[in-house]
Amino acid sequence: MSKIIQWIDQRFPLTTFVKHDLGEYPTPRNLSYWWNFGFLAGFVLVVQIISGIFLAMHYKADAGLAFDSVDHIMREVNYGWLIRYLHSTGASAFFAVIYIHMARTLYYGSYRAPRELMWWTGQVLLLMLMATAFMGYLLPWGQMSYWGAQVITSLFRATPFIGDEIVIWLRGDFAVGDATLTRFYALHYLFPFLIFGMVMIHLIALHYVKSSNPSGINLAAKDNIPFHPYFTVKDLYGLGLFLIIYCLFVFFSPELFIEPENNIPANPMQTPPHIVPEWYFLPFYAILRSVPDLLGGVLAMGTSVIIFAAMPYLDRSKIPGGARYRPIYRIMFYLFIIDVAVLTYLGAQPPTELLTVVGQVATFIYFAAFVSLPFVSKAEEKWLRRRGLPPAIEELIRCEAQERSAKSGK
């Protein structure tokens, strides 16, 4: 056995890789359980790919057969109901985990130098995940699948000059139909593997810059511990907790994530009374609806997703630790979370005059949080320094400076 490994090691850095990136990989010892969610996201990706491949063995991507084939999976395929519910609940779990992962990054300021590329590759992953989820949602070919795709693809009509052509090009037809279903299916199968590749890039960047940690500074070597066994076991324990919650939904309430309307086969002649996207798109959908103009709405919605990428530049404070040592930023963080919750609620409501106004206010607050951040963060830093930083933070800043000079000295 050792001979085989030796043979491989002369040609491929197997042992070095395992040692460097899995075993001894230095990890800050002060990571809280909030740092489990990246691993959980990777786990859910694998669950989605495996359950998806098994679904693909029985699913028929044909407008005339799709709905029936899903029902066939649910009733006749051995444990088909389990595979499908793992996949449909997995989509929600994926977004839940990713949103928490992002919220952690925002709270602790983990997007700051030198981790901008981690944040941006993560941003690309979010966009890819959204595209994959949107296309996958068409596949059961229920009423909500159909009309959701119809509404979202028609948003591209807002493109200046060539709007109508773009919509037809996307759908492959004048309306969502068989051509749309087959291309969404092909891409829904492709994207997870692109996501997988992007995750690799995300991880290579991670292993280069190393994990951030709640203190917000790069810790001295003595404060790092090897990934194995400490974080392997901690991640596995977190995975256990996640699986309990996930399986409670899969086995006891799987239909919670499937709109009743989607148990009716797609009918191009009949619009459902109330079209709602899945819960994970609701805040962005609410922003779209808050802008009276179509092009404006689409731009606002697009911006609301990608504006996160600007965070490393919007946040001008040099105080480490994100919200932990910055009271104003902390208040902004929680207000933002509440605002997103309000938008989520509004996105699910049929529009009324009052709710539209509330939606516009919430949309304004959403963007105001980002736009005001450069000024607020700068002012906050000044205020904190004038007041005198707590000795704990002074110590952190000093430690980091020391660490940096020690490194450059080498």
Rounded CA-CA distance 160/299 in Å is 12
Beta bridge partners of 265: 142
Q: Is 279 in the site for another protein (CB under 8 A)?
A: yes
The residue within the footprint of another protein, chosen from 17, 237, 364, 375 (CB under 8 A), is 237
**407 noted as active-site residue:** no
Place of tokens 């159909």: 146
Rounded CA-CA distance 173/149 in Å is 13
Rounded CA-CA distance 77/59 in Å is 11
- Total site size for another protein, rule CB under 8 A: 60
The residue within the footprint of another protein, chosen from 220, 256, 306, 406 (CB under 8 A), is 256
Q: Residue 105: helix, strand or coil by DSSP?
A: helix
Rounded CA-CA distance 294/264 in Å is 29
The residue within the footprint of another protein, chosen from 274, 318, 385, 398 (CB under 8 A), is 274
Segment interacting with another protein, rule: CB under 8 A, options 127-135, 151-159, 253-261, 292-300:
253-261
Neighbours of 190 (CB within 10 A): 12
Shortest Å distance, C-beta 183 to another protein: 27
Neighbours of 220 (CB within 10 A): 12
- Residue of 259, 278, 339, 380 with catalytic role: 278
The residue within the footprint of another protein, chosen from 44, 47, 63, 96 (CB under 8 A), is 96
The residue within the footprint of another protein, chosen from 2, 113, 222, 252 (CB under 8 A), is 252
Q: Is 230 in the site for another protein (CB under 8 A)?
A: yes
Kind of pairing, strands 26-28 and 224-226? antiparallel
Max Cα–Cα distance, the chain, nearest Å: 74
Which of 136, 146, 292, 291 is closest to 154 using CA atoms? Answer: 146
Q: Is 247 in the site for another protein (CB under 8 A)?
A: yes
Would you please indicate which residues are annotated as catalytic (active-site) residues?
207, 211, 234-235, 278
Q: Under the rule (CB under 8 A), what is the footprint of another protein?
A: 29, 32-34, 36, 68, 71, 74-75, 81-82, 85, 92-93, 96-97, 99-100, 225, 229-230, 233-234, 236-238, 240-245, 247-252, 254-261, 263-264, 274, 276, 279-280, 282, 341, 344-345, 347-350
